[in-house]
Structure 1
Amino acid sequence: MFFNWFGFWRRLFSFIWDSKPKLLSIEEACDILNQDEEENLEPIAIPEEENVNEYDTCLKKGIITFKNENKYQIDDLYEFESNAENLYIGSRVSYKIFITNCTIKVTDVKLIENDWDVDETGKSTWCSRIMVCKVVKRENRNVILEPGDVTVDLDKISIEFIPIIGDWVEIHVKSEVDINITDFSGKILEIDKVNAVRPHIKNCVITSYNAKDNFGILNKNIYFLSTCLPYGYIPQANDKVIAEIIESDQGTCVWRALKILPEALAAKKEQITDVKESDLVYAHEHINISSESVELTGLNLKTQFFVLIENISDEVFLIKSVGFKAPSQSKVTSNVQDYTLDAKEIKKICCDCESKSMGDSRDLIEIDFGEFKIGYWVSITVGRQSSFESVKCIRKGSKYLNNYSNEIIAGQRVTSAPRFCSVKIPDYTLPRKLLDIFNRFTFRDAANIQSELQAYKPSLFNNLTLMNYEDKFHTLLYLEEISEKLALQNYDQDLACFIRNGEYLMLEINNLKERRPSLLVGDKIIASDPTKQDNKDFEGFIHKVGGNHVYLKFSPMFHDSYNGEDYSIRAVCGRGSLRSMHHAIFLAVKMLGKDILFCTQLTERELQVNLRSEEKQITRRQALEKMYKLKNKTPVKETAQPKSIDWYNESLNCYQKEAVKNILLGVARPLPYVIFGPPGTGKTVTIIETILQLLRMIPHCRLLVSAPSNSASDLIALRLINSGVLKPGDLVRVISFSYLMSELLPGELVPYSATLSLGREGTVPSAEVLKTGMTLGCSSSAIGRHRITVSTCGSAGRLFQMGFKRGHFSHIVVDESGQASEPEVLIPVTFLDKYNGQVILAGDPVQLGPVISNPFASDNGLGESFLERLLNRFPYVPDFESFPETSGYDPRLVTKLRYNYRSLEPLLNLTSSLFYNNDLLVTVSSEDSKEAKTLAKLKDILPLGSNSEPPCIVFHGVDGEQCRSNDSPSWYNPHEAAQVFYYINELYRMGLESKDIGVITPYVKQSREVRLILTEAEFDCPKIGTVEEFQGQEFNVVLVSTVRSSSEKADDLNFISCPRRINVTISRAKCLLIIIGNPNVLSKNIVWRSVINYCISNGAYTGCQMY
């Protein structure tokens, strides 16, 4: 505040001594300004002589004394922003000031060229009011409203939707009081907020949809754009939807939908159409067609069957040709070309069938009589006895018995707990009330559980706000913890025997690697003696995890006394990551607040890095400024010299470079910057370049780089090390002790890795450096010196316990942020200094999201990532009118990467149209690329596409049988497994290797079934796994087995119908995707319906008949 007091006293003394104040030199003025760096952050006080009260408006004259780009200062007192081109330092202006929320606002600034250009200074009154207007025009970020010709700058107001021409809106304004107008509404001083008029939710039916022009109609009077549709949904007439609508004039429509959610698909047979059969008839008054059913026990088997053509009339017919419609498993072996069928004659047509499709299917035989064609479907059944017995899986209703009150005899921890911690976070103990709810009901009693939760925690079902933010997310995390406890009951054993192995006691657990949730080093096993009633339980910590065993250490007394007795055991997972997430929620509200968590307005900050513009020409405004400065020799504030970017990776495309530039500029800080990276667009490469450029351009910066998983964190660390840019000591990879013991850490990262010591410095032994270069037990002073700290989101919570304050890291980078829950991402983000720091979130909100096991937690907000929630809010939502060149996203906040380096064009087109608004651009050639040549080799085993070329995506319909065995609730489908085997055999025959193939299935049991078949055949096994195991990976050929084959409702398809899972599934292939499933079941889902229709329209459907 020194500078303002100086101006005040200077004025005061000039009146006392009636002399002009002494002018300061530039150096003296700079010295005064530099005494307080935060002066500009504090509000400027109004001189006492002005005496401007709340609701007063004061018209004044003054001189512009400071200018920096579009920021100005009048008389060294009042700050304002303007894009006018005729304002310079020294310009005389008139302006109005008023006070709102204890802040001075300057408005209506006008250049004074003559004294009579402005009225006399004076005061007036203002008030708040609401005006209803209609959007009549859009000019970039400006919205023009009528009546009143009001201009709204979307960058300067609070709004929660993107208005278009025709929308009716309510604007909350501060306006002068004009007694000469009937409603006293004078000139608008400021616009605070814009709301839609009459927003509400309505059940609707799709009237029509124009996919070419991307708009549609609901209920004949509600207009909607394709941008309001959920990912993966292509609407069709008569689909039932739920819409959020507002009042808007759109031609004949008087409403507009802001958001649409599908409720029920239209039940129409023409939704999915099979082969074109318009010229076929299936019944004729003079001709009868019949055939026996064909049955085979397995694939690649041959059999012969006959089709009978009977002439029941007295006429003679000429059979011109007989053949099966491709694709088909059958072929005609009889020569019946130009055969004369006499009256009452029966012609036997000999056919061969070679089984290629498992389950029930039909082949269409066409008999051409010249004047007409008759079609007949031959039923074919190909079956295989599964190696698993098909029985109904019976599961007990899981309950969490929260009556464990026995005395616990402590075991031996993996690492000793420190006596003195720098920062101790609360326990955030699970509330007993929530435990009691899930103790009384199972998840089958969803209605009862929801009723109890609504009574106990109403905020759980309310929209997320800053007021309920903590309460809601704490409850969501508690619900997820309860589900984890229930899942851990899978490890419970009534009678378990330990095996001595040196210093450990081993516990055998079958299929340990495949069980979920996984047991990790540091988790606990609680053992109790069922034969004793001494109320004592023994705690054993897991020190190692083997294939089917965990290695435990109980108390020394237990080890000494154990003699092979049976114990009842239960597993208990550590709560460290949960506590970190709870604490991150607390810190987020306190440290980040509404401006970041619930931002509705973008306020530009000064450039973080002044980059040299690549444009050689200057604007008219810049030219006038230079001329004015040369003429008047006006001293201006010196700014940092522009810097040019020397790219470390010259192969970056224009979108990747723009992302890096926009992050370096950082004008939207502290709002998170988003790198939206669809599959195969080079997101990781962009992150690496961003980190390296930040280190180069901002020498004092310190980065915390996090990701939800260890594999993603390792990848970033390896790429940074292999860049060759970093110096020794620049990077540290922080790991947990459990990850160290898992032996999964890449060898290249070992010298850069360190575990942390939570003990206060001076109270614990110093760090130990191993021969490999790894450091164990690092203190905060050692970790804090590195310029880049790479960790998982969970491990970042330990940095807070070590005493790291917000602002220690200048930049927070979170990769794969779409895969983490909001509390998990907030663990690293809460280290942000929101006045000087920057957050970069990279990921894809349309791919796999957080893995949440509790349905009530997932449905009420925990299943939505922070990245996804941001991109669904203003100012992150796309505005195609303002930003047509950047997919509708504001480049100050978001860059969407568009060039795909993975897939051939037909594969990319499917993914792009369903999930990315047709934004993705192909780079893989369909002519001479490796992918194109690989696809050409596979032509013989694929149906012929509509363009007479082998299709990149094939849907093979299999009407199989879904089964469950008595040892697992997971589904499997033996018919689809056999079909997968058939294709793998054909791919190997065509020269592909196991490394070229990936097999995706949503169920673990199906993975085992496919793997067993391949093992029995002594085949090399390609990668086989669930969707989660394939995120971020790519293969030349991907086979997908969807498993589910019964006639369920769409809601019963479980997670195979999740759009994000489907997106990951269909975007892994580089040249060929083969989907094996039941189209009659999958078509009940909105996304699978679109996938199947895409295959049909491109001639890439084969297999069972659709109905």
Structure 2
Amino acid sequence: MFYMPHNIMVRQRQRQRPGEDADMPKLIHSKQSGLEFIEFMGDRLSRYSKNELRDIYNTEFRAREGAKHPNFSSVVFALLTFDQIHIKKGKIYKNGKLKVRASSDQSKMLGPHQTPRHGAQETTTGSPDRATTDTKPGLTPKKKRATEILQMMKTNRNGMTADEEGIEITSKPEGSDGKVHLTVDFEKQPFVITFTILNKGTNFVNFTNYTVLDRVRCYNLKDERKVTKASPLLLCPGESYDVAVAYMLNECGYFPATIYFEFQLELPKPMTFCIVREIKAVVQTSLGAELGPVAPYKPFQKVKSKPAVREVVEGVPPPSSSVQTATVKLVDYKYPTYLKELVYQKMEDSKYLSPAARQQLASVKKLLESSLDMKNYSRRYHLLLHLEEIQMEVDIKKYNLHNQTMTQDQGNRKLLTLKVPGVAENRPSVLRGDCLKVTKSGHTGSSVTVYTGYVHKVELDRVKLGFSKRLLEIFINKMKFDVEFTINRLTMKLQHRAVELAVKHELGEVLFPSDTAVSTVSVTDLRMFNRQLKDNPEQRNAVQHIIAGSSKPAPYIVFGPPGTGKTITLVEAINQVSKADPSAHILACAPSNSACDLLCERLKSQLSSYQLYRMYASSRDPNSVPKGLLKYCNWDEKQDCFVFPEKKILMKYKVIVTTLFTAGRFVTGGVPVGHFSHVFVDEAGQAEEPQCVIAIAGLLCPEKGQLVLAGDPKQLGPIIRSPYAIHHKLGLSLLERLMIRKPYEDLDSRFVTKLLRNYRSHAAILKIPNEAFYNNELQVFADQLERETYCNWKPLPQKGFPVIFHGVLGKDEREANSPSFFNVSEIEKLVTYLNMLDQTQGKMGLPKLSAKDIGIITPYRKQVEKIQKALKSLKTLSHWNDLEELKVGSVEEFQGQERKIIIISTVRSSLSYVKMDTDFNIGFLSNEKRFNVALTRAKSLLIVIGNPVILRKDPVWRKFINYCVEMKGYVGIDFNSVEEEDLFEAKMAALRITDSECPVGEMSAFQQHVDPGWKNEL
């Protein structure tokens, strides 16, 4: 950086006549503040360096008057411009005969206030002023002082807040234990807290200094005498003095602060001591009060287990709908008991391990640490899947119910109906064929009878269960049961079998490809079925390479960033394969039923019901199937259920669409290897590799077949629960694993095409994700009218920039026994924006809004629930008939979706829990992919509500917030007033709660905080 010599700066200012300055009023105001500061400092001015003066200006002078005074740099510039000061060797000196007041003699005796007790320090006459004592390199006096204070608060809080040497500090409103807690109605702020300092002792005490340590400047300090070290106040015995702390913002939120008071005792011996008070202030609306914690947070207590001796009575499963004969058996693949022991002992040797577990410990750890290859492929994935299942068994217990009643089904008296809250959201997932275990409530005997009930039907929040005659014979109304949920092991078994078959059928060139095996092929220019692809070179290139088979035997990847049309590209490729090769048979899959339905909807325009077949699992709810697909699928009206056809019928279809899990049915049913010439997997980045391999192993011929994967490795991968499975890459999809190795990482067009044209978002919304994740290569091709819909929305801070970041200082809260977090202040602000959207719809060129046009994204389950509660209570939105269509959910729930308007509530507002988020991969600060997915769902308006101080710890969030500031899209708290960031990191560290709520072997953090819907995509 180039620095202009000081004498040249002065000459330039002298040449610039004050009257010529365009900002003269501001300059004069800055000059006046500077003169007041010079008077405030007195003869201390030249004692300090410029940086030290900056600290004194901000903490002792400016803090008293808040926004009244400009920043220090502006003041210095003005004083130099008007020739009131000069700078020499890093110190500031006044010019001419400016009058200054002499400092009090007592200031000479002020020394460091560090002490083994609680802040008292003996001093001697002539001891240097604290601000001039030696400090660590780069540590300013303010930082040193504050660090000392916070360290003392950490080690001896009671001592720091205790009254001392006869000085008593009380407050109005009244506090206790050194803290002033208050909640203020937003309509009644600003508020003032008055601290009264009373000398109840027999000695004379000087009140020498006070300051506020607040992360963001939100309080003004006022006192009649303007006490400072330069101008202390002598408190005689019995005298009192008031200091007022006034809140100066106009925002809802949580505003904590530490007020530091410093005193000087002269007799019987000189000493300096301090007393500290803490403010815990919340400003909220009536809605905020309504959404607060329903009960104090108490960590979840495990329910005492039933007696170990059990008699299990099997229930009655639903009738089978399959006409298939199982050609390839699906075995149980149960995890070994020793593995559970190792998990509970954190993979460490322990006296609690059995001999078998201790014997296996070293080999298990070695396998976990090994790199994946075809030699260890099945063994390593068996281990990771077992670890995941162990965690799933723990997590599913969250939904266990106690003291529940069941009723006999009126249509079939052999079935009992149980109400299961959350089942409609897959919390928990309960499907036809699943089993639940029930026991009589209140059983106290040495053994217990467990009745297994099989799910026959799911209706909204009720499940119909088939139990044995033994239970039905003793069943009476109002009989109470404890209900235990179980995981559906079918999905795990299918993945275990798939990784075994991958080795058996030697899929090495498919799963670990190299460019050396590729033969040279020519790419033919094709006439597109979908004319939109004609003008998109990347989409057209991808289709042509897939048809040519340029990557075979390696997979071809369609790298589709948000809104770039990867599904349309896959559909075109499937149609082209169908046309080009009459003998081709195509299996098109995706992890979710919704993605499969979308594929099928788009394929049916070119394929008849004799060519296209949509195969559903028997557990699929027929009411959730798009009506247009019923004639293409395996729905049997006579049996009133989905059926699995015989192999010979399935093999007649040109294209079959199904989920990855249900694709395992083809292996079980004996569809021969090589029958499917092509396997397409959409949203491949959302499936763990063993899930993806279900559609490949035992079906695709590695020498002749073509695998096509479409997805985005920069977006979220599959949901994995086990900390061990996460750490050892079970969450790494096949698509992402390939994209970080050659030849894919080089974007070789024979193997991969990166789509570049974004058809979804306004350029302002796309900018930061584009730069951070896509090398700034994405191009804006969204419809201009649609993407600019909200560019002139009146509440926008900057016209033409449809992005808002609203800075809020909220509070991380929890309630009852739920460990998940919520932030009421952010919900209050979110509701404000919803009301503004409602009030402006249909006006000034804006369209009428439907609830389906808006999506609200937040990372924590409890925040989702609180927002949903707020929406239901809002009278202003009661006229929205489709309000239930306004989706509120986690980032994971929004992947693959889009909305005209996206509002994001980030929740996190405390550094105390940032490490927990990072350790357990929850929240926004731990995962760039979560940031990417959340922001890129919006088409025409993006509103982000969060704490900028916390979020700016992350480089991607910092870039986004700075971008909003630069484009004038930032509103809310002024984070530029944040003082001494590292100081507050120290404070948070000092007050941090050691988080041990998620030990290995207990419920996963992801389950506790996010509570994702359970996989039910059969």
1:657 corresponds to which of 503, 527, 540: 540
The match for 2:565 is 682
Query: Amino acid of the residue matched to residue 952 of structure 2?
Result: S
Query: Which secondary structure does the structure 1 equivalent of 2:814 belong to?
Result: coil
CA distance in structure 2 between the aligned counterparts of 1:358 and 1:813, rounded to whole angstroms: 49
* Contact 1:602/1:875 (8 A) holds in 2: no
* Amino acid across the alignment from 1:662: H
Does residue 850 of structure 1 match 2:691?
A: no
Kindly provide the amino acid, as one letter, of the partner of residue 603 in structure 1.
Answer: A
1:976 alignment partner in structure 2 = 826
- 2:801 is equivalent to residue 943 of structure 1: no
Moved more, 563-572 or 794-803: 563-572
Query: What's 1:666 paired with?
Result: 549
> What residue is the counterpart of 1:197 in the other structure?
none
Partner SS state of residue 818, structure 2: coil
Is the contact between residue 323 and residue 643 of structure 2 (CA under 8 Å) also seen in structure 1? no
Contact 1:1050 1:1084 in 2 (8 A): no
Structure 2: how far apart are the matches of 1:531 and 1:771?
44
Between the aligned partners of 1:932 and 1:1058, the Cα distance in structure 2 is: 30
Q: Does 1:463 align with 2:371?
A: yes
Aligned to 1:560: 473
Query: How far apart are 1:554 and its partner, in Å?
Result: 0.9
Tell me how far 1:854 sits from its aligned partner: 0.9
Matched with 1:544 is: 457
- Contact persistence 2:678–2:700 (CA under 8 A): yes
Q: What percentage of aligned pairs have identical amino acids?
A: 32
CA distance, structure 1, for counterparts of residue 307 and residue 590 of structure 2: 34
Q: Which residue does 2:888 correspond to in 1?
A: 1024
Alignment of 1:321-332 (within 5 A): none
439 and 1047 in structure 1: CA distance in 2 versus 1, 3 angstrom threshold: closer
1:480/1:854 contact within 8 Å kept: yes
In 2, distance between residues paired with 1:775 and 1:515? 20
- Corresponding residue for 1:225? none
For 1:599, the equivalent position in structure 2 comes to 513
Q: What is the CA-CA distance between 1:794 and the residue it aligns to?
A: 0.3
Q: Deviations over 1:180-208 (max 9, x none)?
A: xxxxxxxxxxxxxxxxxxxxxxxxxxxxx
Cα separation, partners in 2 of 1:453 and 1:489, compared to 1, 3 Å = farther
Cα offset, 1:576, TM superposition: 1.3
Q: Please give the secondary structure, in 1, of the residue aligned with 2:643.
A: strand
Note the alpha carbon deviations across 1:430-457, whole angstroms, 9 max, x for none. 21111233456799x9x99999965534
Q: Is the 8 A contact 2:760 2:787 kept in 1?
A: no
Q: 1:521-575: per-residue Cα shift (whole Å, max 9, x none)?
A: 2211122343666764322111222343321111234323322443443222221
Identify the structure with the greater helix proportion.
Answer: 2
| Alignment check: 8 A CA contact 1:577 1:794 kept | yes
Deviations, residues 582-610 of structure 1 (Å, cap 9, x unaligned): 01101112224332222233433364xx6
Displacement of 1:400: 10
The DSSP-based 3-state class of the residue aligned with 2:613 is strand
Alignment partners' CA distance in 1, 2:397 and 2:281: 45
What is the CA-CA distance between 1:1091 and the residue it aligns to? 2.1
The residue identity in structure 1 corresponding to 2:368 is: L
Structure 2 CA distance, aligned partners of 1:837 and 1:281? 74
Give the whole-Å Cα distance in 2 for the aligned partners of 1:480 and 1:1016: 39
Closer/same/farther in 2, CA of residues 646 and 528 from structure 1, 3 Å limit? closer
Which residue is equivalent to 2:970?
1101
Indicate which of 747, 754, 759 corresponds to 2:627: 747
The equivalent residue for 1:1083 is: 952
Q: Number of aligned pairs?
A: 710
Cα shift readout 1:982-1003 (whole Å, capped 9, x = no counterpart): 1111121221623332211112
1:788 corresponds in structure 2 to 655
Q: Does 1:476 align with 2:343?
A: no
Correspondence for 1:966: 816
Contact 2:762 2:939 in 1 (8 A): yes
The structure-2 alpha-carbon separation of the partners of 1:295 and 1:1105, relative to structure 1 and needing over 3 Å to count, comes to farther
Which protein, 1 or 2, shows the higher relative CO under an 8 Å CA cutoff with sep ≥ 6? 2
Offset at residue 668 of structure 1 (A): 1.8
1:785–1:891: structure 2 CA closer, same or farther, 3 Å change rule? same
TM-score, normalising length: structure 2: 0.64
Is it true that 1:423 corresponds to 2:291 in the alignment? Answer: no
Q: Give the 3-state SS of the residue equivalent to 2:791 in structure 1.
A: helix
Q: 1:469 to 1:800 in 2, by over 3 A?
A: same
Q: Is the 8 A contact 2:762 2:782 kept in 1?
A: yes
Per-residue deviation at 1:303?
6.1
Query: Does the 8 Å contact 2:805/2:971 carry over to 1?
Result: yes
Per the alignment, residue 506 of structure 1 pairs with 417
Shift of 1:957: 1.4
Q: Identify the residue that residue 1052 of structure 1 maps to in structure 2.
A: 916
CA offset at residue 352 of structure 1? 13
Q: Given residue 468 of structure 1, which amino acid in structure 2 is its aligned partner?
A: N
Q: What's the offset of the Cα at 1:868?
A: 0.2
1:726 aligns with 2:607: yes
8 Å contact from structure 2 (residues 317, 455) kept in 1? no
Sort the Cα spacing of 1:838 and 1:963 in 2 relative to 1 into closer, same or farther, 3 A. same
**Secondary structure in structure 1 of the residue aligned to 2:692:** helix
1:877 Cα deviation after fit? 1.1
What CA distance in whole angstroms lies between the structure 1 residues aligned with 2:558 and 2:693? 17
SS for the counterpart of 2:792 is helix
Q: Distance in 2 between matches of 1:782 and 1:824?
A: 25
Which amino acid in structure 2 is aligned with residue 929 of structure 1?
Answer: L
Q: Is this contact kept in 1: 2:457–2:463, CA < 8 A?
A: yes
Distance of 1:520 and 1:837 partners within structure 2: 34
Is 1:738 the counterpart of 2:619? The answer is yes
The change in CA–CA distance for 1:584 and 1:863 in structure 2 (over 3 A counts) is same
Q: Does 1:1007 align with 2:864?
A: yes
Return the offset for 1:771: 9.6
**Inter-partner Cα distance in structure 1 for 2:304 and 2:590:** 33
Matched, 1:998 2:881: no
What aligned pairs does 1:597-996 form with structure 2 within 5 A after superposition? 597-605=511-519, 607=521, 612=524, 649=532, 653-721=536-604, 723=605, 725-740=606-621, 743-754=623-634, 770=638, 776-830=643-697, 831-878=699-746, 889-924=747-782, 929-938=785-794, 941-944=795-798, 949-991=799-841, 993=849, 994-996=851-853
CA separation of 1:956/1:693 partners in 2, compared to 1, >3 Å: closer, same or farther? same
Q: Which runs of 5+ in 1 are unaligned?
A: 1-268, 307-326, 331-350, 363-378, 614-642, 756-767, 879-888
Q: 1:662 to 1:358 in 2, by over 3 A?
A: same
Q: Deviations over 1:265-324 (max 9, x none)?
A: xxxx9xxxx999675349999999xxx99999456x476799xxxxxxxxxxxxxxxxxx
Q: Secondary structure at the match of 2:515?
A: coil
Within 1, Cα distance between the matches of 2:523 and 2:418?
61
- Give 1:788 shift: 0.5
Asked whether the 8 Å contact 2:685–2:717 carries over to 1, the reply is yes
More strand by share: 1
Q: Offset of 1:459 from its aligned partner?
A: 0.5
CA distance in 2, matches of 1:1104, 1:404: 60
Paired residue type of 2:283: V
* SS class of match (1:911): helix
Query: Which residues in structure 2 correspond to 1:63-462 (within 5 Å)?
Result: 280-281=74-75, 297=184, 301=187, 355=250, 357-360=252-255, 382-383=283-284, 384-385=288-289, 386-389=291-294, 391-396=296-301, 406-415=311-320, 421-438=326-343, 456-462=364-370
1:920-952 CA distance string (max 9 Å, x none): 011247xx63332422123xx2324xxxx4433
CA distance in 1: counterparts of 2:961 and 2:513, whole angstroms: 40
d(CA) in 2 for partners of 1:650, 1:745: 29
Matched residue type, 1:900: N
Query: 1:845 Cα shift?
Result: 0.9
Query: For 2:838, what is the secondary structure of its paired residue?
Result: helix
Post-superposition Cα deviations, 1:104-160, rounded to whole Å, max 9, x if no partner, equal xxxxxxxxxxxxxxxxxxxxxxxxxxxxxxxxxxxxxxxxxxxxxxxxxxxxxxxxx
Contact 2:369–2:728 under 8 Å retained in 1: yes
Tell me the C-alpha RMSD between the 2 structures.
4.0
